[in-house]
Amino acid sequence: MKNSYIKDIAFYVPDNVLTNDDLSKMMETSDEWIRTRTGISQRHSTGDSNLGPADLAVFATNKLLDKVDIDKSDIDFVVFATSTPDYFVPGSGALFQDKMGLDTVGVLDIRQGCSGFTYALSVADKFIKTETYKNILVIGAEVQTTQLDFDNEGRGTAVLFGDGAAACLLSATDKNKGILSAHLHSDGRYIDELGTLRPSSKFKDIITSENVKNREHHIHMNGREVFKHAVRRFPQVILEGMEFNNLTTEDVSLVIPHQANYRITQAVQKKLDIAEDKVFSNIHKYGNTTAASIGIALSEALEQNKINDGDIIILASFGAGFQWGSVVIKW
């Protein structure tokens, strides 16, 4: 059986930056208020460019292909994770495949919110280990800022999210390295605590003027409930991955959690009783980029030489659904 390993990864964020001071001109908030509660200083936005997740994914993938020694014709399959697809139907994967000129390569869309990247890696890993494919593009891409309320009513979510994309090449190897295991969970009892209510195919009118008036087409979040579950589920699923692979915290070189909120990251680090420098964070620069956040963080960790050959890395996520997961990697 083959192993799957991350051959390389790259990311892209739009040039347009929204600082906390920019947001303070749109709603009653301040740089101090946002940083104290979230750890975020700025986020990137597509603005009025009309760029969607597929476009951001193309930019990230082109950066990736500049780094690796394979041609795009060697890509066998694409797993595309996003919670903000370009179209209601079909998913962004097909649009991305066309924009990249990937011939008739198959695509699979993953709609797991902030856990999208861990779920996508897990699926791609199985395709490679069963020798179905050799080189799979794993994409996490989001355009969140177009569905936010930049006013006092939407302040709770508007300060959190940003836009961006990460593109990862997962390849087959005979070497003793790569993805060791993945651990995925969900609890649909909390589905209404975080998400976007409309459009919905449950109703004859999938979206109405009344829905728009009530802002049901914008993302909503019960922040306290999300925080309470996140600080419990993150450590659980990280420890699950460690126990499955007979690892201790001493064996782990770096934990890369989904960048949801720096207070959550701090709570997870303390619960795991792991050194602060072993938990990567870049939320201050990008905010919460949902399915893209882990990929962006992993790419930056590599750029900063925080990961070396043989290191044990754990990626962990928690988000809408609620859905959470971890991926344990030997680099």
Catalytic residues: 114, 258, 288
Q: What are phi and psi of 104, to 5 degrees?
A: -110, 30
Based on the number of CB atoms within 10 Å of its own CB, is 246 exposed (0-12), middle (13-18) or buried (19 or more)? exposed
Strands 106-110 and 77-81: parallel
Using CA atoms of 35, 37, 38, 44 in order, give the dihedral in degrees to the nearest 10. Answer: -50
Q: How many residues does the chain have?
A: 331
Based on the number of CB atoms within 10 Å of its own CB, is 94 exposed (0-12), middle (13-18) or buried (19 or more)? middle
Matching residue, tokens 């009783």: 273
Q: Are 249 and 242 in contact (CB under 8 A)?
A: yes
From CA 301, how far away is CA 293, in angstroms rounded?
Answer: 12
